[in-house]
Structures are given as C-alpha cells and as structure tokens.
Amino acid sequence: MIAIIKYNAGNISSVQNALTRLGCQSIITDEPKEILTADKVIFPGVGEASSAMKYLIEKKLDKTILAIKNPMLGICLGQQLMCEFSEEGNTKCLGIYNTLVKKFPNTDIVPHMGWNSFTKVDGTLFKNLKTIDNVYFVHSYYAEINEQTTAVCDYIQPFSAAMQKDNFYATQFHPEKSADIGEQILKNFIEI
C-alpha cells in the first residue's frame, strides 16, 4: 500500500489517479500510523511553504515524515519542504536535504510553468528512461544544487529537479503530469 500524505496542499487526487493507472493501491491519509506502516509514501504538494509547514507541525506530521523508514517521494512543494529553509514565507522546513529553497529572480517568466528537460540525471528514479526530455514544472521557488541533487534543470539558472538521500526521494517536477517519462519515474519509485 502507498500512503499519500494529506496536508494543507493540493495535487493529491492527480497523484492518486496516476498510481491507479499504474495498478497501485493507495490511501490518502494524515494518520501517522498509516503513513509509517505504508510500503511507500508520497508527499505531494502544490501550495505555499509556510502555511503547509504550519499544518504539518500542528498535525505532528513533521515528526512522522522524519521517522519514515520506507521509500518516500516528495513532489514539488513536497521536495521544497524536505529542504532546510524556504524563502517562501521565511520558512524553516524539515531539513532532510541540506540545501535552501530560493525564489527565482523576479522576471516576466516566473513561475516556471510547463515542459522542460534535464541537463543531468543520475540515480534510481531515472533508470530505464528513453529520454530525459519534457517533464512538467509549476513553481516559483527552487532548491539549490547540492550533494544530494540527482537531476538538474536549467530555467533562468540551474536548480535541483530531483534529489535523493537515503530512503528519501524528491522531484521538483510533477511526474504524475509528465506523460510517459513521469510514468516511468513513478514506476521506478514503486519498484524501489
């Protein structure tokens, strides 16, 4: 069973629909016991960092996430909240990844919305990919490149499109909205 963490952020149903298309059973939950006993955990997110972290703390989901031993995948805001600190709302985050989340410089082309390619990929999430082109992004903040970066994308500047540390995996892009390449990335996560 895959647990999808329910918290004050959107995009949960599209993640569950993608898992259903792959033949996987999932539950949407904010119950620590269900999250900690799931075979895999997905931490999705579309929203704002400070209000999302506030909700996680209120529900004690921050401690639950840090205690997860099985593979966990953070998506978009989920990846950002797994970092040390976000400039969005000056938010102290979970600290799984030793990097900062910064706002793209103010330009007419922010948010980064639409399809983009990787300039570098490495790691388990990216095995069996036929191409490293065209994954779907929607974000105005980005995680800096660091020693845990497994994929890099360039939009205004290079940033961490994916990261991995121990059992924690994360993508800034939305695999559930990224067609065949996203489906393969989700399959790779499910097979870990």
Q: What pTM does this model have?
A: 0.96
The residue annotated as part of the active site, out of 34, 48, 76, 88, is 76
pLDDT at 114: 95
The residue annotated as part of the active site, out of 93, 176, 183, 191, is 176
pLDDT, mean of residues 50-78: 97
Phi first, then psi, for residue 62 (nearest 5°) are -60, -45
Confidence band for 8, pLDDT divided at 50, 70 and 90: confident
pLDDT at 129 over 90: no
DSSP for 117-143 reads -EEEE-SGGGTT-S----EEEEESEEE
- Residue pair 119/150 in contact by the 8 Å Cβ criterion: no
% of residues, the chain, pLDDT over 90 = 91
- What residues contact 108, with CB distance under 8 A and at least 6 apart? none
Task: Between 27 and 107, name the one with better pLDDT.
Answer: 27
Return the CATH number of 2-190, one of 3.30.230.70, 3.90.1150.10, 3.30.60.50, 3.40.50.880.
Answer: 3.40.50.880
What's the mean pLDDT when you consider all of the chain? 95
The residue annotated as part of the active site, out of 83, 88, 153, 174, is 174
* Active-site residue flag, 174: yes
Q: What is the pLDDT of residues 72-114, one digit of tens each?
A: 999 999 999 999 999 999 999 999 999 999 999 988 899 999 9
* Active-site residue flag, 24: no
pLDDT at 131 over 80: no
Confidence band for 37, pLDDT divided at 50, 70 and 90: very high
* Active-site residue flag, 183: no
pLDDT at 123: 92
Task: Between 136 and 132, name the one with better pLDDT.
Answer: 136
Please tell me the chain's helix, strand, coil percentages from 3-state DSSP, rounded to the nearest 5. 30, 30, 40
Residue 6: count of CB within 10 angstroms of its CB: 18
Domain boundaries, the chain: 2-190
